[in-house]
């Protein structure tokens, strides 16, 4: 699956360097790190959250709830304005 992550610049440079030293890809390094971290993480139950709804006519034009990157782009545009 393809995904987009915002990572700290120093962290990603270090990860790329380590991947190169190990003769592997950045993707493989990140996958291995996630597997290791998740295998040691205790199972957790998320907090129940209440979703508040408001009257209205639905989503604003250009809002795509199925696309995280589109939502982040939209939020970035709002923050810049």
User: 45 vs 42, 48, 50, CA distance in Å?
Assistant: 10, 9, 15
Give me the residue spans of the domains in the chain: 1-43+64-81
User: 36 vs 29, 53, 56, 73, CA distance in Å?
Assistant: 11, 39, 45, 31
DSSP label at residue 2? -
C-alpha gyration radius of the chain: 19
pLDDT in tens, 34-47: 999 988 877 777 78
Where helices occur in the chain by DSSP H, the ranges are 9-22, 26-40, 68-80
Phi, psi of 9, deg, nearest 5 = -55, -45
pLDDT in tens, 12-27: 999 999 999 999 999 9
């Amino acid at each position: 699956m393809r995904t987009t992550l915002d990572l700290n610049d120093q962290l990603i440079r270090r990860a790329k360097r380590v991947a190169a030293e190990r003769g592997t890809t950045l993707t493989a390094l990140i996958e291995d790190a996630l597997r290791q971290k998740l295998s040691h993480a205790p199972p957790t139950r998320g907090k129940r959250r209440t979703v508040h709804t408001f009257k209205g006519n639905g989503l604003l034009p250009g809002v795509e709830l199925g696309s995280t990157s589109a939502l982040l782009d939209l939020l970035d545009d709002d923050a810049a304005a």
